[in-house]
Structure 1
């Protein structure tokens, strides 16, 4: 197992359990305890965890993995969701994309759509995510608008008043939200309040709002609210979503697409 793969696995285990012992982690990953100790020390230097005697705990109360360590999590589900979301976007529309692994997959799905290979532009994409802008900037059929702002290392998203200023001057046909959690009662949410504020503005500037979220995000709550449930038109999720959760969203007036 490569170092990057070990680090992803360790961080995911830590998110799930809150605390990991060296011996426990070594058994899970089938590596030596010395390797785990070294990994813990290096991850602690990057402030991705807190070292304890004999193990590690999550860093901070509202723990969030940086985007580069999330990419492999639920990848097949996210790719199916992304394709379904991309299919809901019409040529010529102005589309807002927030940051996140699922919305990054949406950008990739849009990039390979055959009917979006030409036009002037085929799509206008507005995003505050540096990685999404970077991937789509090489696509001449897309007009890419980046909000500006201060980069947030965990998600590559631009936040703050500079982003607010750009979003206040535009209108969108559709906003696609990546979320940390989405609950029928409490709405869509993120870990970071500044990130949530920019995402909220994207929603407010859009004619319709789509939430792209795998089933693990549903029925959960997070610190910073993005928008109320009734501000969302469509939820696209995977087929593992609990029927009761789907029913609650439908009763709230959303169209729910499962893939």
Structure 2
């Protein structure tokens, strides 16, 4: 069917599509498009999501940090370099866990004093040799898969600190579900980090969009900016901006 071919062609280009956008493109009802998506999913050609469809499985399984470090390396490094320009002299920032924010820590070269609060052991290792950087390492149980701490002890420390920016890595960004990660305790710690920062900057390569995971971190209206790569779908970029999120493309 020509309509099915058109849907798949658009999806191949955009990676994620919304039912309402396809309705407008093909001048058919939402009921018809949903039936088409159901048929195509049964054929193994796409994955249905809430309000649309994705070329990849939108549900994320946990991967070890050493495995994730090897994928989308160029994109992550580009995102990290741009994110480092958001740090100003004598700043106080927070860096969460994840391979993209780890890449950020390699790009930080403060001209003067910088305070960094982090849950990531790798971030600490990258920054420890710079005498201009004061590091507050959050304590708690260490997740082997992410080499970062989680739990009540880390959250209690955050009750007594405040910073200008949080650089947050995520496993999934869904237009309806919001930001998510694979671990519930990590999501809860991320929520405490959100409350301790004046500005929230998400670092995410384009593969994270249209995906969701077990543990929700927050809605999209809780963040200020997403820094990503040029492969982000124009449709998703438009929807994010409509929700008030600044999308910066490397």
Instruction: Tell me if TM exceeds 0.5.
Output: yes
Unaligned runs of 5+ in 1: 1-60
SS of the aligned residue for 1:225 comes to: strand
1:100 maps to 98
1:66 maps to 64
Change (3 A) 1:62 1:102: closer
1:99 and 1:255 map into 2 onto residues whose CA distance is: 22
1:249 maps to 240
CA-atom RMSD in angstroms: 1.2
1:71-127: per-residue Cα shift (whole Å, max 9, x none)? Answer: 11000000000111111121211111111110001111113xxxx13x2x2x11100
1:204-233: per-residue Cα shift (whole Å, max 9, x none)? Answer: 110000000000001211110111101100
Of 120, 125, 143, 1:152 maps to 143
1:208 and 1:257 map into 2 onto residues whose CA distance is: 15
Deviation of 1:64 after TM superposition, in Å, equals 1.3
SS of the aligned residue for 1:151 comes to: strand
1:92 and 1:187 map into 2 onto residues whose CA distance is: 32
1:22 maps to none
Aligned 1:55-204 pairs, distance under 5 A: 63-111=61-109, 116-117=110-111, 119=112, 121=113, 123-204=114-195
Aligned residues: 192
1:166 and 1:234 map into 2 onto residues whose CA distance is: 25
Deviation of 1:62 after TM superposition, in Å, equals 6.1
2:39 maps to none
- 8 A contact 2:76–2:205 mirrored in 1: yes
Taking structure 2 as the reference length, what is the TM-score of the superposition?
0.75
- 8 A contact 2:178–2:220 mirrored in 1: yes
- 8 A contact 1:184–1:252 mirrored in 2: no
1:87 and 1:188 map into 2 onto residues whose CA distance is: 23
- 8 A contact 1:82–1:102 mirrored in 2: yes
Q: RCO greater where, 1 or 2, for CA within 8 Å and sep 6 or more? A: 2
Deviation of 1:180 after TM superposition, in Å, equals 0.1
SS of the aligned residue for 1:201 comes to: helix
1:181 and 1:92 map into 2 onto residues whose CA distance is: 32
Q: Does 1:208 align with 2:199?
A: yes
SS of the aligned residue for 2:108 comes to: helix
